[in-house]
Structure 1
Amino acid sequence: MSTPTLQRAPEPSPAPSDRDAESRASRPSDGGRRGGAGGRMLVLAVLALLGVAVLALVHVSQGTASVDLGAVWRAITGSGTSQADAVLIDSRLPRLVAGLVVGCALGASGAALQSVSRNVLASPDTLAVNAGAYLAVVAVAAFGISLPALPAGATAFIGGLIAAGIVLGLSRAGSGPIRLVLAGSALTLAFSGLSGMLILLRAQETTGLFAWGNGSLAQIGMQAVNQLAPVALLALIGLLVLGRRLDILALGDDGAAVVGVSPRGTRSIAVVLAVLLAAVAVTIAGPIGFVGLCAPAIVRLLGARVPGLLRHRAFIPASAVAGVLVVLGADVLLRAVFGAQAGVAVPTGIVTTVVGAVVLVVLAYRSRDSGSTSSSTAFARVRSRRAFVITLIVAVVGVIVATIAAVLLGDARLLLGDVANWVTGNAGRIVTFVLDSRMPRVVAALLAGAALAVAGTVVQAVSRNPLAEPGILGVVGGAGVGAVGILTAVPLASFWLVGGASLAGAALAAALVFGLAARRGLEQNRLVLIGVGVSAGASALVSLLIVLTDPYNGAKALVWLSGSTYGRTFPQVLPVLVALAVTLPILVTMRRRLDVIGLDADTPRLLGIRLGSTRLGLLSIAVVLTAAAVAAVGVIGFVGLVAPHAARALVGQRHVRVLPVAALLGAFLVCVADTIGRTVIAPAQIPVGLVTAVIGAPYFIWLLWRSRREG
């Protein structure tokens, strides 16, 4: 079985000469069969170009009106005069050329990022490059600024470069896939939260960006492609020129330094060029997901039979061609399945994300668990009983203060006397109306925050990773698919029907993740990576359901997907209360097992703990808590990441102390976020999930930096 890290070339022998090291970096691995390998590469190149040509012909023929070869020729030569020719020139050919440019750019970008990070799971998606570029474009549009293609591309480039710098800077090179994927996923969540907040707050200025945010090849004219295609070509040429240096860099930093290649300089240039390619793709078509992951993976599989294909001057262009095949193939499949009319509304990026999620799950399934994932010092830190008692008292007081503020503040400000009158039944009509709608929201925020925090505590202990959170298990995405699916089929569905569908979707997603990860006893790296893949695929399916059924009301769906307590009633928060009441006593009885499992993989076995079944039971509890919270308030991120880690930092690693403190911190965080969302732009509201993303992002970045320094 192969590991999920890019294999390095053999290390150079001691004190090699410059000529020896350079010859090893450029020597084909099949030695005397160079001619045979060259012949196979030629055959592959011909087949790939033939595949691109066939897909291009099929692609340009798809639409609401039939097109013959004569019309295509007239469009190419510019001699078309009919209305059908105009449609072909202004719509279909620009869409085809956009697919060619975007596929080429994302494939080459993914190949370069994987080589630089020495990680086959690196891509513009997993490094949050696409999310950063998208946020930059949305931020400009939110202020009513309309930019031409080149300035828009420059804006996307700056956003993507910042994101890549954060992720690569906070994850050590060669540190394995899990840290990079977790860092990129969490930063993507933060940037997506900011983008969603801007789209909701500036809905008129950002009309259409929700669908575009999933990646769409639809174009009006060739202006954007004509301006940005030369930029992509220059960046691609730059990577090809850098190809020999990237080959030498595969020898290791010491081997590269021996022959005069600067590892830091080479990586920096490669990252800049890769981000520039991704920015071009985002500017043209939005963030089309996982092409940068799939294309190099396809080439690497072929490279097992044609080793010369893995040399970067062949690997990068081959990945670019594979990216074109993936993008055009996804667009052709999209319009073949949903029809020409729906193909205009449904973003191509949804299909590529589903395919990329499958590739990520397959790579994770085939990987070996290195077992190197270790806890941060917060897991091993010991705190006194006095520190725990003081922390617990402060947390309780904080929750009480946050609850009082949440009850009093909002679009209508109240006094404590109004609340007292409401409790005794003596309040006026307006006060009664306000508190009847506000109190269930406050209770929902408190209970959902506590449930997510407890679920995150369990997930971090079982995965032995302080960067993990419930969303990585695919549970949140599965719950979203269930809820949006039932709302699509039954628009007037009751809360209980939506909640039941959400729970069913979460259970199915968890069963899929656990079933695939059960190999070798639910090893944590595989579990996390499979969960990330399933979560990405589920998110794409949710977007597909939204766009197919209500493409002009993305804001409504975004509110639910961003988490909201709006319109909640006391019966609707009852499932969360029941889930907490049932699971917390169970976790208290299993507290010692949580302590032991959080240490390492060997100690539980020495103590007679059945690691696989214990992990499965604990993760099932986390699934129930997460599904109940999502059914009640929608998708809320970062709570399950921030609250458990902060609790461990405050009271130590013993779960008998961590669980209550984490629950209180989670309740406090969501309650405060909900109050902010209801207050800052009242009477309008910001979904609580977007606020928690904005609050949690700085803490997460600090956490990553600290754990990198400790590592």
Structure 2
Amino acid sequence: MSPPARPGAPAQAPPKLLPTAAVFAITLGTLAVLAALHLTQGTSEVDTMDVLRLVTGTADPGVWNVLEGARLPRLAAAVLVGVALGASGVLLQSVARNPLASPDTLAVNAGAYLAVTAVAAFGLSLPLLSGIGVAFVGAVATAGLVLALAAGGGATATTRLILAGSATAMAANSLVSVLLLLFEESTTGLFAWGSGSLSLAGFAPVAQSAPIVLLAVIGALALGPRLDLLRLGDDTAASLGVHVRRTRTLAVVCSLLLAACAVAVAGPIGFVGLAAPVAARQIARRLPGLLTHRTLIPFSALCGAIIIIGADLALRAFVDPETSIYIPVGVTTTLLGAAVMVWLARSVRSAGSQDKPAILHGAANRGRIGFALIVIGLAVASVAALVVGMMAGDTMLLGGDLVNWLAGKTGSTYTWIIDQRYPRVLAAILAGAALACAGTVTQGVARNPLAEPGLLGVTAGAAIGAVTLITWAPNAGAWTVTAVAAAGGLAAFAVVYAIAWRGGLDTGRLVLVGIGVWSFGMAVITLIILASDPWDTPKAMTWLSGSTYGRTAERLIPLAVALVLVVPVVVMYRKDIDLLALDDDTPRVLGVRLERTRLLLLGAAAVLTAAAVAVVGVIGFVGLVAPHLARALVGSRHTRVLPVSLLIGVLLVSIADTLGRTVIAPAQIPAGLVCALIGTPYFIWLLWRTRTRT
């Protein structure tokens, strides 16, 4: 029985089936055309005419061998994975009531990828779990963590959900990178697979996953009427006989099963679960017949298949067939999906002061003596970290060896070891200070304690500039690399700032747009490296993981100069940062030129971040953790926060670099991975604390 019309409201005609059927017919036709084109693409000489001759029965027998051995399995994988991710995304968005929810933003794909990689790395035999079962367990673990952390966000639910998902995904991907480095032989090929690969050797993975995908989609369709009622609100749905919690749980289980199947077949293909439902809902706004979940779910599934096949065709159109084999299709879909995320984030508006999660002020009223003792203690600890970093590594040294080296009395062997080691130690110290200072400025100016330069696009832009130059101009000097990286970081931040500016800077929108740009940038970096040199995976791992390996003293000069020039400017504006951290009105009343000061300070943060990325690559979480720990120690006044944050940043990166060079010596773990593993638990704890306070 349909609900009664509101008094005075015009009568609504029931949705017509003809337009809905026409849309489905057009969508299926588009999918068929793209599939036919997809079969004509590949490295062999089989082309369109050969495929047509095969249909008419006049083709050479070798044509069918090519299609059966490579092209049909690739097409089948694309369709199956697209259907699974499209349906999974629309279910997650409906349950979370959030248009930005997807298997990527909820770290579902990252958790499934981690579980599959761990099983491969350790050679585990799990008779009760297939590859799909392993991926499902990982997906459940990470999705549950993200949803728990994002709960209770109120007006900031969207920002909290994406931040929690990004942090959890970063932690999971860091663990994956560590496993890939430690167990290189047993995880061969998982790096490219980790971006989503359709290169299958046969139909077996598709045949194993297809029944589960079909059952999950059928289950989702059975839940469709109850999901429709959930749109009216939990109370209204419950009054109409819907068991709200059970419905959501079953929908999430179906969604995670679909995502797990997609990961088991082709790896974590990025952002299809976000882009496909968005496209489906945009079309459904003009056709009410598509709004019910029993039509929206299959329509979104078809859109997902079209997106993956279209992305694979686009990749092969712009890259030669031999190179396209080494470039995962997930890179292309991430470029598309990140753009969709940025477009969606443009409409996000936070709720003023409610958008400020709680900052942990551990010692707001600490006296001068206490502050001085903290600075002295951190300075001593930093010096100790420098000394330990010089002595620790694959060859352990003694303090006397360092003294002899300073006096020029060491032998050739120890001289060579120390000459190779001290630039790495200094790189970690300088990068830690630069990232901590940039993070302090970013959090203060953006008035978001969950922000850092990496989440605002600066890191991705700087990395794109540096990697592009190093890839195509390997002989470029340190100053040139730093300048290009700085330009890339500033350009990326300018894009983020311009998009986020809609009648004023909104902090939630700024962070969400920045995360989208960051995802886009990481995909571009992977595309550049794999397209230029598909066999040089270590280069990709080095830049995307952050490492001090192979650094020389000359490479450190630009970063040192950036610190010498920029940090005094930040210190000079320390009181302005205090005012900007309050609101927009107070600085104006007190004579601060708001926009100019804000851009100057964020530009300074971008320069510091870009210089650090040019030297050590992408190191995350330092700019987030260091300012928080500093505020917990000395309060919120930036006169005190800045020096303490710089020292904490030095300690974090120095310790991470030393641990990475020592724990599994002679093998090494990049400092950026260690920082992520250290910083992620703190970030999760912070989100949990702010969850209870919101």
Structure 1 contact 131–160 (Cα < 8 Å) conserved: yes
Map 1:203-242 onto structure 2 (within 5 A): 203-242=184-223
Structure 1 contact 211–551 (Cα < 8 Å) conserved: no
1:32 aligns with 2:15: no
1:653 aligns with 2:618: no
Cross-structure match for 2:75: 96
Map 1:310-329 onto structure 2 (within 5 A): 310-329=291-310
CA deviation digits over 1:38-92, x for unaligned, max 9? 3322221111111111111111121232355885897999x99923211211211
SS, match of residue 568 in structure 1: coil
Map 1:416-435 onto structure 2 (within 5 A): 416-435=399-418
1:184 aligns with 2:165: yes
Cross-structure match for 2:269: 288
Map 1:366-381 onto structure 2 (within 5 A): 366-371=347-352, 372-378=354-360
**Greater mean alpha carbon deviation, residues 484-493 or residues 221-230:** 484-493
1:540 aligns with 2:520: no
1:57 to 36, 41, 54: 36
Structure 1 contact 522–612 (Cα < 8 Å) conserved: no
Cross-structure match for 2:431: 448
Structure 1 contact 673–691 (Cα < 8 Å) conserved: yes
Distance in 2 (CA, whole Å) between partners of 1:569 and 1:292 is: 43
CA deviation digits over 1:458-479, x for unaligned, max 9? 1112222222111112111112
CA deviation digits over 1:460-513, x for unaligned, max 9? 122222221111121111122112212221234443333333223222212222
Shift of 1:589: 2.2
Distance in 2 (CA, whole Å) between partners of 1:114 and 1:252 is: 15
Distance in 2 (CA, whole Å) between partners of 1:310 and 1:648 is: 48
Aligned length: 686
SS, match of residue 320 in structure 2: helix
1:666 aligns with 2:646: no
Cross-structure match for 1:16: none
1:403 to 380, 386, 410: 386
Shift of 1:526: 2.0
Cross-structure match for 1:568: 551
SS, match of residue 48 in structure 1: helix
Cross-structure match for 2:46: 66
Distance in 1 (CA, whole Å) between partners of 2:458 and 2:659 is: 27
Cross-structure match for 1:260: 241
- Structure 2: runs of 5+ lacking an equivalent: none
The residue identity in structure 2 corresponding to 1:533 is G
Cross-structure match for 1:137: 116
Shift of 1:262: 3.2
2:535 to 552, 556, 567: 552
Structure 1 contact 469–638 (Cα < 8 Å) conserved: yes
Structure 2 contact 167–684 (Cα < 8 Å) conserved: no
1:675 to 626, 644, 658: 658
Distance in 2 (CA, whole Å) between partners of 1:33 and 1:52 is: 31
TM-score with structure 2 length normalisation? 0.94
Cross-structure match for 2:447: 464
Structure 2 contact 276–301 (Cα < 8 Å) conserved: yes
Cross-structure match for 2:229: 248
- Structure 1: runs of 5+ lacking an equivalent: 1-18
Distance in 2 (CA, whole Å) between partners of 1:621 and 1:114 is: 38
Distance in 2 (CA, whole Å) between partners of 1:462 and 1:161 is: 36
SS, match of residue 399 in structure 1: helix
Distance in 2 (CA, whole Å) between partners of 1:408 and 1:140 is: 36
Shift of 1:547: 1.3
Shift of 1:637: 1.1
Shift of 1:394: 2.5
Distance in 2 (CA, whole Å) between partners of 1:30 and 1:273 is: 38
Instruction: Specify whether residues 107 and 579 from structure 1 end up closer, same or farther in structure 2 by C-alpha distance, changes over 3 A only.
Output: same
Structure 2 contact 394–665 (Cα < 8 Å) conserved: yes
1:83 to 36, 54, 62: 62
Distance in 1 (CA, whole Å) between partners of 2:362 and 2:285 is: 43
CA deviation digits over 1:413-433, x for unaligned, max 9? 112121112112222222221
Cross-structure match for 1:4: none
**Greater mean alpha carbon deviation, residues 44-53 or residues 302-311:** 302-311
2:493 to 488, 506, 510: 510
Structure 1 contact 129–161 (Cα < 8 Å) conserved: yes
Distance in 1 (CA, whole Å) between partners of 2:11 and 2:195 is: 45
Distance in 2 (CA, whole Å) between partners of 1:81 and 1:568 is: 56
SS, match of residue 197 in structure 2: coil
Structure 2 contact 362–634 (Cα < 8 Å) conserved: no
Structure 2 contact 193–328 (Cα < 8 Å) conserved: yes
SS, match of residue 337 in structure 2: helix
Cross-structure match for 1:8: none
- Percent identity, aligned pairs only, is 51
Cross-structure match for 1:13: none
Structure 2 contact 15–289 (Cα < 8 Å) conserved: no
SS, match of residue 360 in structure 2: helix
CA deviation digits over 1:67-122, x for unaligned, max 9? 55885897999x99923211211211111111111111111111111111111111
Distance in 2 (CA, whole Å) between partners of 1:33 and 1:611 is: 53
Distance in 1 (CA, whole Å) between partners of 2:662 and 2:388 is: 11
TM-score with structure 1 length normalisation? 0.92
Shift of 1:163: 1.0
CA deviation digits over 1:615-640, x for unaligned, max 9? 22221111011001111111111111
CA deviation digits over 1:557-595, x for unaligned, max 9? 202221111122222212222222222222222222212
1:161 aligns with 2:140: yes
Shift of 1:259: 2.5
Instruction: Specify whether residues 313 and 612 from structure 1 end up closer, same or farther in structure 2 by C-alpha distance, changes over 3 A only.
Output: farther
1:594 aligns with 2:594: no
Map 1:670-709 onto structure 2 (within 5 A): 670-709=653-692
SS, match of residue 32 in structure 1: coil
Cross-structure match for 2:371: 388
Distance in 1 (CA, whole Å) between partners of 2:625 and 2:292 is: 42
Shift of 1:602: 4.2
**Greater mean alpha carbon deviation, residues 613-622 or residues 655-664:** 613-622
1:364 aligns with 2:345: yes
SS, match of residue 357 in structure 2: coil
Structure 1 contact 149–228 (Cα < 8 Å) conserved: no
Shift of 1:149: 13
**Greater mean alpha carbon deviation, residues 66-75 or residues 478-487:** 66-75
Instruction: Specify whether residues 593 and 425 from structure 1 end up closer, same or farther in structure 2 by C-alpha distance, changes over 3 A only.
Output: same
CA deviation digits over 1:305-355, x for unaligned, max 9? 123322222222111111111111111111122133333222111111111
1:277 to 254, 258, 283: 258
SS, match of residue 355 in structure 1: helix
SS, match of residue 676 in structure 1: helix
**Greater mean alpha carbon deviation, residues 91-100 or residues 598-607:** 598-607
Instruction: Specify whether residues 532 and 631 from structure 1 end up closer, same or farther in structure 2 by C-alpha distance, changes over 3 A only.
Output: same
Instruction: Specify whether residues 375 and 114 from structure 1 end up closer, same or farther in structure 2 by C-alpha distance, changes over 3 A only.
Output: same
Structure 1 contact 149–224 (Cα < 8 Å) conserved: no
2:98 to 119, 124, 141: 119
**Greater mean alpha carbon deviation, residues 184-193 or residues 517-526:** 517-526
The residue identity in structure 2 corresponding to 1:84 is V
Shift of 1:30: 9.0
